[in-house]
Amino acid sequence: MSVKPESELYFYARVCNRDGLSQAIATELHDQWEYKFPNDEQGKPKGKQRIRATTIDGQVRYEETIKTPVDLGKHMAANLEATTVIDEAYFNAWKQALGTTGCVKQRYTFLSRDVVLTTTEGQAVKLPEVKYEVDVLIDPQGNFSKWCKIDVEIDAILDYLAEHHADITSFDALVKLSHLPFEPEDAFVGNTEDPKEQEAIKAFWSKFAHTVADSDDH
């Protein structure tokens, strides 16, 4: 079992150039199901348990993950993740017993190598490459979503700053998405406080949700 923290910024955006997705450095197909734990006594989320079948070049890997949320502040999501490898029989049994919500998505990975961070004091710092994970959902009929979810993983950035720039204690993050080759537009942060955007996110996931019955039909 591996246990690691994961911090990320995430956004939703409309895919304007679907051909640009082919420029990803890696692609994966995810079939995943989750079970959300009941909230704690204060009404705060306690996390969720997830199983995932990841297909890369025809090879399938099965994993189970428990995600416990960590509060890092506005516009940032973080979880402590404990992941263990499972087999196909366990995956199918878990899905039948606990799989309340399912989704199928194609993940495209992009790298940005010329990233400069500006501290709150105005200092410019050249950073290592930044990874963007772009998820395009697939509905039970096989149709791909016109919108995508974009995760920007920042753990590597935080580790780099801790090792090479320990004097930096705060910075403002301005994330550039327009340079990505699939030309995302109308982007907004994933943990938006705008009621209309929150409803749009719920409708998006609901439209592309899978049920156990859907998967049994295939």
Q: What angle do CA 118, 120, 124 make, to 5 degrees?
A: 25
Q: Percentage of residues in the chain with pLDDT exceeding 90?
A: 53
What's this model's pTM, rounded to 2 decimal places? Answer: 0.83
> What is the pLDDT confidence band of residue 69, given thresholds at 50, 70 and 90?
confident
- The 3-state DSSP composition of the chain as helix, strand, coil percent (nearest 5) reads 20, 45, 35
Q: By mean pLDDT, which of 70-74, 141-145, 166-170 is the weakest? A: 70-74
Q: How much is the mean pLDDT over the chain?
A: 86
Q: Report which of residues 116 and 46 the model is more confident about.
A: 46
| Mean pLDDT of the 183-212 span | 92
Residue 122 has pLDDT above 80, yes or no: no
Question: Which one is the CATH code of 2-209: 3.40.50.10490, 3.10.620.30, 3.30.300.30, 2.40.320.10?
Answer: 2.40.320.10
Distance CA(122)–CA(137), nearest Å, equals 39
The letter for the amino acid at 210 is H
**Side-chain half-sphere exposure of 188, counting CA atoms within 13 A:** 13
Q: Indicate the domain borders of the chain.
A: 2-209
Under 8 Å between Cβ of 192 and 46: no
Q: Looking at 39-43, 154-158, 178-182, which range is the least confident one?
A: 154-158
Average pLDDT, integer, range 73-96: 84
